[in-house]
Amino acid sequence: MLKTNSVGLTISAVPLLNNISIDCPRGSVTALMGPNGAGKTSLLKVIAGEHKASQGRVEINGQSREDWKQSEIAKFMAVLPQSSTLEFAFTAQEVVALGRTPHATGLLRDAEIIIGALAKVDASYLAQRSFVQLSGGEKQRVQLARVLAQIWEHCEGDSATDGILLLDEPSAAFDLAHQLMLIEIVQQIAARGVTVVMVMHDLNLAAKCADQMVFMNCGQCTAVGTVKELLTPELIAKVFSVDAEVITHPLQGTPMVVV
C-alpha cells in the first residue's frame, strides 16, 4: 500500500534522512519513534509530498508518488501536522469543512460528514465556537476531525480505494481520555483498511495500537519490527539513551515500558 524505498532527504546541504526503507501494508498502523531531531517529521513530510525525496522514492499502490496527481492523492490521503496555524475566526465546523475541499459530494453529504467527524473526536459541542478561541487540545481535536472528514469514505464507508492517514504527534495536546480516544479511532479506521503512519513520543501509547514500530535516530532507521521486537531495554537504551525495564501490561498483555 505505502512504501518508502531508500528514501534520502537533503535540504540546504544538510542531510536529514538517509536510506529509509519501510513497508506499510494496507490497514496497518506504523509508529515512527525516536529522539528529537531523529528525522521522523521529515520522513512524514516526504511521504505527504511536502518535501521531495533527494534519493529513493515513495510508492503508493505500487506507483511512485511523483506519478500521482495531487488532486487525486488529496481524496485518499490526509495529513495532521504537529501544529496548525489558523488566524481567521472560522468556526470549528468551518475548519472541519476544509477537509471536504478535494471532494465533490455536495453540501448535504458534506454536512453529514462534518457532523460525524466532530462527533467522532468528541467535539460536537465546539461546532459553532470560534476556532481561535479554543484550547490547544480542542484545536487539535477539531483538526483531527478535519483530516478524518477528508478521508471519511475510507474511514466509515465502503470506498473502492484505500485511505492513508499521516499523523505527526497527534496526542501531544490531548488529555488522558482523549489520548485513549485517539488510539481507539486509529484502531477502528485501520480495521477498515486505512493505512496509518504516525509520529509518536509515548512508547506505551504507541504500543497500544501499532502493528509495527520504526525506531529512528540521526536521520537513519535504527530498527523496524513489531512492538514486542522493538520494545526491549537494549534498543530503548540505544535509541533514547534511557535505562528502562519492559514488563507485560497487566490488562492488555502488551509490552509496557517503565523508566
Rg of the chain's alpha carbons, rounded to an integer?
A: 18
117-151: per-residue pLDDT in tens?
A: 999 999 999 999 999 999 999 999 999 999 999 99
CATH number 3.40.50.300 given to 2-76+151-258: yes
Does residue 202 contact residue 169 with C-beta atoms inside 8 Å?
Answer: no
Percent of the residues in the chain that have a pLDDT greater than 70, as a whole number? 98
> Is residue 252 scored above 70 in pLDDT?
yes
Per-residue exposure over 222-245, b if at least 16 CB sit within 10 Å of its own CB, e if not: bbbeebeebbbeebbeebbeeebe
